[in-house]
Amino acid sequence: MYKLSELNDKTNVIREYTEGVYTAWDIRDDLQDFQKEGIRFYTVKEYQASINARDMIETAIEYEYDNMYEDWDEKILESITEKDIKKLQDILDNILIGEISYIQDIEIDIFN
């Protein structure tokens, strides 16, 4: 457990049961309100959204296979090149640039 007093003012923290991200300075500024409400805060881990193009294609082909002829999935998978995968991966990466989520990590003791 971290102590609020030990955190840098710009440290990102997350409030229990919400999606809002605060800084340690924000918490210190409204400390009396948060203490009265008994709200818990946590440091955060940043999570960058990522979709694997190869996995996405394989899952889509598997899903579609039930509607196609025998060995269709193998034929299609053999026709997909590394260049195709790279193109799709580049598109997915471009779409997801900056898509970051915050996941709660270590609890913060706001009383000390």
Q: What are the tens digits of pLDDT across the range 8-22?
A: 999 999 988 777 888
Task: Please state, in angstroms and rounded to a whole number, the distance separating the CA atoms of residues 29 and 44.
Answer: 19
Region of residue 87 (phi > 0: left; psi between -120 and 50: alpha; otherwise: beta): alpha
Confidence tier at 43 by pLDDT (50, 70, 90): very high
Q: Classify strands 21-23 and 12-15 as parallel, antiparallel or unpaired.
A: antiparallel
2-3 sheet: strands from edge to edge: 2-3, 100-109, 41-48, 12-15, 21-23
CA 102 vs. chain centroid, Å, equals: 6
The conformation of residue 104, written as its DSSP 8-state character, comes to E
pLDDT, tens only, 83-95: 999 999 999 999 9
Predicted pLDDT at 82: 97
Taking the CA atoms of residue 1, residue 36, residue 5 and residue 30 in that order, the dihedral angle to the nearest 10 degrees is 130
Predicted pLDDT at 103: 87
Instruction: Give the chain's radius of gyration (CA, Å).
Output: 23
Are 4 and 109 a contacting pair, CB within 8 Å? yes
